[in-house]
Structure 1
Amino acid sequence: MKRNPVPGLALALAALLAGPTAQAQNATKDDAVAMVKKGVAFIKASGAAKGYAAITAKDPQFVKSDLYLVVYGMDGKCLAHGANEKQVGRDLIELKDIDGKPFVKERVELGKSKPNGFWQDYKFTNPATKKIEPKQMYCERLAETLVCGGIYK
């Protein structure tokens, strides 16, 4: 008796297609809030220099799928960046997204008025897809800095 290979092939194809999707699952809002809180606690416990270095070095505790941390001074200077170390040390206050929104300036203003945490919407390049996508950034103020982590929608 001959067996029909189609069901087995279909199952193998479904597993193959499901694998990358499961691995590439975007981070959630809860993930972003938890990671920002972890970053704030780490910086408080270890000091700014060690904390910023760990974030910029992509320490695994500060990276999850498409989620990473960034730290800005209240003047818009990038102090740590978990996706692009070339941004560290740069004054990004005038940086705008694809729609012309000055998102760093807005972030600093929100940080001054909402020191206990806030969400911000803008568009940014997703490091996983390399495409500009809508992003939501959660930030908390720590002294004269903002520790932030964002999710892509």
Structure 2
Amino acid sequence: MKRFFILIILSAIFSLLNAAEKGTAPEAEKMVKDAFTFIEKNGRETAFREFTTNRNIFHQKDLFIFIVDFKGVILAQGGNPALLGKNMLDSKDPDGRLFIREMIELASQKNTGWIDYKWENPATGKIEKKSSFVMKYKNEDFLIGCGIYP
């Protein structure tokens, strides 16, 4: 019986620690806005490299920046650099949503907003709901994004 309670307590502690490492919607929005400013100050090349390769202010908790051009090509990807240069325009989530197309449509028409889709959570290895905040960069043909697992 004692072991059972210890396991429950350890499980609760682990869950709380894991939850503390999840980014929030306001943190994701702030990170995208900070990335926007960083691009303005440092230029595309430096910023995209920074978003992809360095563990810094653009990699907090489980949050990271991604950049997608309006043709669907990944220009920066802090969570999975192997996606750099890949065209993801026709990528579908498990429900068949063309989520990259939806991000591009939202950013090009409304400049900013949230998109919901399903994606594998690297922390759990399971397909989960993901919400990404995206923002068009000025009059350029790319968007800045950051996603959360709510």
TM bucket, shorter chain: 0.7 to 0.9
- Deviation of the 1:99 alpha carbon: 0.6
**What is the alpha-carbon distance in structure 1 between the residues aligned to residue 120 and residue 66 of structure 2?**
14
Task: Return 19-28 or 130-139, whichever deviates more.
Answer: 19-28
| Structure 1 match to 2:56 | 60
Deviation, structure 1 residue 31: 0.8
What is the deviation of 1:149? 0.3
Q: Which residue of 2 aligns with 1:3?
A: none
SS of equivalent to 1:112: helix
- Distance in structure 1 (CA, Å) of the matches to 2:11 and 2:54: 28
Query: d(CA) in 1 for partners of 2:54 and 2:15?
Result: 23
CA-CA distance at 1:57 after TM superposition: 1.2
- Do structure 1's residue 29 and structure 2's residue 25 form an aligned pair? yes
TM-score (norm 1): 0.85
Q: Which runs of 5+ in 1 are unaligned?
A: 1-5
Residues 97-123 of structure 1: CA distance to partner in whole angstroms, max 9, x if unpaired? Answer: 0111111011111111111x1000100
Q: Does 1:139 align with 2:134?
A: yes
- 1:86 corresponds to: 82
Provide closer, same or farther for how the CA distance between residues 59 and 44 of structure 1 changes in structure 2, counting only shifts above 3 A.
farther
Question: Cα gap change, 1:114/1:23 in structure 2, threshold over 3 Å: closer, same or farther?
Answer: same
Letter in 1 for 2:125: K
What residue in structure 1 maps to residue 147 of structure 2?
A: 150
Gaps of 5+ in 2: none
The separation in 2 between residues aligned to 1:112 and 1:81, in whole angstroms, is 20
Identity %: 31
Normalising by the residue count of structure 2, what TM-score does the alignment of the two structures yield?
Answer: 0.87
Deviation at 1:66, TM superposition (A): 2.0
* RMSD between aligned residues: 1.9
Alignment pair present for 1:105 and 2:69: no
Count how many residue pairs are aligned between Structure 1 and Structure 2. 144
Equivalent residue for 2:117?
A: 122
The answer to whether the Cα contact below 8 Å between 1:71 and 1:78 also exists between their aligned partners in 2 is: yes
Larger radius of gyration: 1
- Change beyond 3 A, Cα 1:44–1:59: farther
